[in-house]
Amino acid sequence: MIFKKGELFCGPGGLTLGAKMAQVEKDGVVFKVEHAWANDYDEATCNTFRHNICPENPESVICGDVRKLDVASLPKIDAFAFGFPCNDYSIVGESKGLEGDYGPLYTYGIKVLNHHRPKWFIAENVGGLESANEGQAFIKILQEMEKAGYNITPHLYKFQEYGVPQSRHRIIIVGIRKDFGWTFKVPKAPFKDRDSWKNARQALECPPIEKDAFNNEFTMHQKKVIDMLNWIPPGGNAWSEEIPEHLRLNVKGAKLSNIYKRLHPKTPAYTVTGSGGGGTHMYHYKEPRALTNRERARLQTFPDDFEFLGGKESVRRQIGMAVPPDGAKVIVEAILKSFAGIEYETEAAKWEELLNDMLITGKSQKKKKSSPSRQVITQQREKEDIK
Ligand SMILES: C[S@@+](CC[C@H](N)C(=O)[O-])C[C@H]1O[C@@H](n2cnc3c(N)ncnc32)[C@H](O)[C@@H]1O
């Protein structure tokens, strides 16, 4: 059974690659996902997607603003994905939620559901979605998905528990069209025990990255930055006590914990993000330098033959925004197993017990805290998932 998939906000294709890698078989019948069409408004991002996912059919990636997309004219699909932009759901800074420029973009995903009626969908966003607009944005989005005719399963996936060498927490909502009569169950995370987590060293060194690998350019640093990095221990940041006075940063405001933060070789990396200025490029545990894009791609589980197109900063953004393909694969595989009638180990979805009440009453179970102080922001930054 082949599920033709359409995708909005397709990014470089992290989710699609995971979906392509997922394949199951039952009684000689193969269940798999095939790309049908995709949309994103960033030119370099679309080129990366075309180059790696559908080089034989580049026109199937429509490059343009989703607000101008003629949804009705898109080819028929069985499956649909949309990792709607999360800029307005971040807990860091002003969280505009549905009132921001990006917040309402999810409605185009709902439009596709209503028009094309795919058998299933997968939607993705940051953990901050839960508390945006005092919890109302999350519930409104869930209600609209349900109203479009889907049994939904929202869950907060911790990707380090799914074999990704990175601490990355994302809300993923799987919807199954109601006429199938069942609800998706979250696949049990195979690596619950932190001792079993894949660490940054394994990701970057096993196997070593070829010197001439794609997207593996090094950053030229000023001498002062190199000297400072040399004093920062693995896992430490720009505020490490070890740094001598003359090499310290002269910062008056909040001391964000991810500034010049070096990876620790024995733990998963902190969250790979796509934006941020000086000091936020993620730093190697052994060498006094920023990671290359290929190293960031390794932490996101992209294979080395996945070539990102575009300038260095654009590639950094593309990598940081993607769903780790290995994580997406586990989820899509569970969807395919469900359709094939193959059993798999499951775990409780985060909002399982509250979901019905949330959908019926439209009320959040979780009150939004008053605007976080700068200090709290600093502490949360490490966990933060700005894309
Ligand atoms: C979170 S990323 C999606 C990543 C993707 N799911 C993956 O796994 O690779 C969101 C994408 O939405 C795109 N985007 C943002 N606003 C858009 C708009 N108005 N129209 C089309 N695409 C948009 C961005 O360029 C970005 O690539």
* Confidence tier at 89 by pLDDT (50, 70, 90): low
Strands 2-8 and 29-40, how do they pair? parallel
14 lines ligand 1 (CB under 6 A): yes
321 lines ligand 1 (CB under 6 A): yes
Ligand 1 atom nearest the C-alpha of 85 is 10
DSSP state of 110: H
Check: CB of residue 185 under 8 Å from CB of residue 334: yes
Q: Which residue has the tokens 């898109």?
A: 74
85 lines ligand 1 (CB under 6 A): yes
DSSP state of 214: T
Which residue blocks in 35-169 are alpha helix, DSSP H? 43-53, 106-116, 136-147
Identify whether 54 is a catalytic site residue: no
Which helix (H) or strand (E) element contains residue 367? none
Domain assignment present for residue 279? The answer is no
Residue among 122, 143, 125 nearest 88 (CA): 125
Q: Count structural domains, the chain.
A: 1
40 lines ligand 1 (CB under 6 A): yes
357 Cα to the center of ligand 1, angstroms: 31
The answer on pLDDT for 99 being more than 80 is no
**62-75 tens-digit pLDDT:** 999 999 999 999 99
Domain assignment present for residue 261? The answer is no
327 Cα to the center of ligand 1, angstroms: 18
Percent of the chain past pLDDT 90, that is, above it, reads 80
Ligand 1 atom nearest the C-alpha of 82 is 6
Confidence (pLDDT) at 381: 43
Domain assignment present for residue 345? The answer is yes
Domain assignment present for residue 136? The answer is yes
How far, in Å, CA of 144 to CA of 74, rounded?
21
284 Cα to the center of ligand 1, angstroms: 28
95 Cα to the center of ligand 1, angstroms: 18
Check: CB of residue 95 under 8 Å from CB of residue 83: no
Domain assignment present for residue 297? The answer is no
- Closest residue by Cα to atom 13, ligand 1, is 9
Average pLDDT over residues 20-30: 97
Domain assignment present for residue 265? The answer is no
Check: CB of residue 281 under 8 Å from CB of residue 293: no
Cβ contacts of 131 within 8 Å, gap of 6 or more: 91, 95, 138, 366, 368, 369
CA dihedral 138, 142, 143, 146 (to 10 degrees): 180
332 lines ligand 1 (CB under 6 A): no
Token pair for 358: 């949330």
For a ligand 1 pocket test, name from 40, 111, 129 the mutation site with the most ligand atoms within 8 angstroms of its C-beta: 40
Domain assignment present for residue 239? The answer is no
Check: CB of residue 9 under 8 Å from CB of residue 41: no
SS3 state of residue 218:
coil
**134-159 tens-digit pLDDT:** 778 899 999 999 999 999 999 999 99
Angle at alpha carbon of residue 194, lines to 296 and 268, rounded to 5°:
15
pTM: 0.92
Higher pLDDT pick, 87 / 231: 231
**310-338 tens-digit pLDDT:** 999 999 999 999 999 999 999 999 999 99
Confidence (pLDDT) at 77: 98
Average pLDDT over residues 12-36: 98
DSSP state of 20: H
Give the residue numbers spanning the domain of 97. 2-195+322-381
Beta bridge partners of 31: 24
Confidence (pLDDT) at 350: 94
The answer on pLDDT for 372 being more than 80 is no
83 lines ligand 1 (CB under 6 A): yes
How far, in Å, CA of 167 to CA of 153, rounded?
22
65 lines ligand 1 (CB under 6 A): yes
10, 46, 54, 86: which one is catalytic? 86
For a ligand 1 pocket test, name from 105, 275, 321, 329 the mutation site with the most ligand atoms within 8 angstroms of its C-beta: 321
Domain harbouring 15, CATH code: 3.40.50.150
Strands 61-63 and 79-82, how do they pair? unpaired
The answer on pLDDT for 380 being more than 60 is no
Confidence (pLDDT) at 368: 46
For a ligand 1 pocket test, name from 21, 35, 41, 50 the mutation site with the most ligand atoms within 8 angstroms of its C-beta: 41
The answer on pLDDT for 129 being more than 80 is yes
Check: CB of residue 266 under 8 Å from CB of residue 196: no
Amino acid making up residue 201? R
- Closest residue by Cα to atom 7, ligand 1, is 322
Ligand 1 atom nearest the C-alpha of 65 is 20
Domain assignment present for residue 264? The answer is no
Range name among 101-105, 284-288, 292-296, 301-305 with the lowest pLDDT average: 101-105
Count CB atoms within 10 A of the CB of residue 386. 21
Check: CB of residue 106 under 8 Å from CB of residue 83: no
- Closest residue by Cα to atom 16, ligand 1, is 85
327 lines ligand 1 (CB under 6 A): no
Ligand 1 atom nearest the C-alpha of 42 is 25
